[in-house]
Amino acid sequence: MMYAARNTEQILQTLRCGGEVEDEDFDAYLPPGPRLASRQYWTPVAVASLAAQWLSRAGARHVLDVGSGCGKLCVVGAIVSELAFVGLEHRLNLVRIARKLAHRFGVDDRATFRHGALVDVPFEEFDALYFYNPFGENVFAEAEHLDTNVALTPERFQDDIRLMEAVLERMPVGSRIVSYHGFGGRIPDAYELTCSERARTGTLRLWTKMRRQAQGCYWVERENTAAFRDAQDQEALSAARRPVDAIKDNVGVLAEKYVYPSQ
C-alpha cells in the first residue's frame, strides 16, 4: 500500500510500520542539486530499507556506508532498524547535507557522517560495509560526474578498489558486504552470496564472509541494468580470462568467479 507521506513524522511512521515511501517524498528533504541527482546516485528508499532488514537479520550492528553521499542509505537504514550507520564521504558539502538530513529525521545518534578518504577509516570498527558502486564515478564520462568538487581519475579508481579489496581480505569471518549496482572490484571467494534481489534500478546483494581466506578465486558482480553503468574489473572482462563458475537468477548472471592471476 502506498501512503502519501509528506511531513517527516508521516515518513517516519510509514517506514517504521513497513510501509512504502516514495523517493520524491523523501528527497523533498534534500537541497535541489542532490535531489536532482537522486535517481542516479542515491539508494532508493525501498532498497535502503531492504538492505537494513537483511543486515539486521544477519546480526550486523555497525555499518559503514563507503561513499555515503547525502546520507540517504544511512538515514533510511537508521529509521527502519536498530543498526548504527557511519557514512564516509569525500565531498564535504554532502557530509553537511547528510548530517542535516539525519537530524531532521531524529536519527543523528545512529546515522553519523565522516568527511574523508578510505585511508582514514578504522575498518575494524565495522561488521558490515555498504557500497553503491562508489568508485565508478572515477571512470565515467565527465558529463556524468556529480560535480567538480573532487579529483576523479581511472588511477584513483584502481587505488580505491585495491585498497577496499585488501580490507575485504582482512575482515573477520561473519563480516557482511551489501552492494547495490556492484562494489566494482574483486570479492574474495571467502565470501558467499547469501541474498540477492533485483531492486529498482539495480541489484542488491548481501555477501557473507564464510572463511578466513580466499581459496584462490574471487567474484565479480555483474549488472545487466543500464541506469548506472558498471565499473567492473577490466582484467576479469578481458577475452583472455574465463570465469570458472557463475551465480545466476531468473534474470541473468549475478556474479562470476575467476582464479586470481599468478603474480
Contact set for ligand SAM, span 159-188 (CB under 6 A): 160
72-80 and 45-57 helices, crossing angle to 10°: 50
Cα 134 to Cα 69: distance, rounded to the nearest angstrom: 9
Query: Mask of contacts with ligand SAM, 14-43, x by CB under 6 A?
Result: ---------------------------xxx
Strands 245-248 and 253-259: antiparallel
Query: Mask of contacts with ligand SAM, 102-141, x by CB under 6 A?
Result: ---------------xx-------------xxxx------
Task: Candidates 79, 85, 90, 128: give the one binding ligand SAM (CB under 6 A).
Answer: 90
Cα 124 to Cα 62: distance, rounded to the nearest angstrom: 10
Shortest distance (Å) from residue 97 CB to ligand SAM: 10
For 98, which DSSP code?
H
Cα 133 to Cα 130: distance, rounded to the nearest angstrom: 9
| Grid cell at residue 163 | 585498497
- Rounded to the nearest angstrom, the gap between the alpha carbon of residue 92 and the centroid of all alpha carbons in its chain is 19
Which is nearer to ligand SAM, 12 or 150 (by Cβ)? Answer: 150
Q: Say if residue 46 is exposed, middle or buried (CB neighbours under 10 Å; 0-12, 13-18, 19+).
A: middle
Return the sign of the alpha-carbon dihedral for residues 157, 45, 249, 66.
Answer: positive
Shortest distance (Å) from residue 20 CB to ligand SAM: 18
Shortest distance (Å) from residue 27 CB to ligand SAM: 11
Q: Which residues contact 217 (CB under 8 A, 6 or more apart)?
A: 188, 189, 244, 245, 257, 258, 259, 260
| Grid cell at residue 140 | 565515467
Which is nearer to ligand SAM, 159 or 169 (by Cβ)? Answer: 159
Stretch of residues binding ligand SAM (CB under 6 A), selected from 19-27, 68-76, 206-214, 243-251:
68-76
| Grid cell at residue 200 | 529498482
Q: How many residues does the chain have?
A: 263
Task: Candidates 91, 110, 200, 222: give the one binding ligand SAM (CB under 6 A).
Answer: 91
Alpha helices in 58-123 (DSSP H): 72-80, 92-104
Which is nearer to ligand SAM, 50 or 88 (by Cβ)? Answer: 88
Stretch of residues binding ligand SAM (CB under 6 A), selected from 89-97, 100-108, 217-225, 232-240:
89-97
The reply on whether position 94 binds ligand SAM by CB under 6 A is yes
Task: Candidates 5, 60, 88, 255: give the one binding ligand SAM (CB under 6 A).
Answer: 88
Which is nearer to ligand SAM, 75 or 190 (by Cβ)? Answer: 75
By CB under 6 A, name the binding residues for ligand SAM.
Answer: 41-43, 65, 67-69, 72-73, 88-91, 94, 117-118, 132-135, 160
